[in-house]
Amino acid sequence: MSSIRRVRPFAKFVEPFHQECIHEKKFNPAPIDKLAVDPKKAIEADMKLTNLEEGLEETFPASDPVSETQPKPSKY
């Protein structure tokens, strides 16, 4: 029975190296979206829409609709 060699001690040296190779690069299946909207611009657009909707709800019975921006002051 002494002629049987164990392979396990060699496996201790191979496994850590093999694990490093596997975990070195992670696969990301989602490609980068080049046409995606900038998150900051999306938040600004949402805030403008929210402010406009709030203004419309507060002045609903009025005859003039609310504008998102204020008009320039008159020269006269």
* pLDDT tens digit sequence for 40-50: 998 999 999 99
DSSP labels for the chain? -TTPPPSHHHHHHHHHHHHHHHHSS----SPP-TTPPPHHHHHHHHHHHHHHHHHHHHTTTSSSPPPSSPPPPP--
Q: Give the global pTM.
A: 0.37
Report yes or no: 68 and 46 within 8 Å, Cβ to Cβ: no
Least-confidence region, from 11-15, 55-59, 67-71 = 11-15
Of the chain, the percentage scoring pLDDT greater than 90 comes to 9
> For the chain, which residues make up each domain, given as ranges?
36-60
Average pLDDT over all residues of the chain: 71
pLDDT given at position 47: 92
pLDDT given at position 48: 92
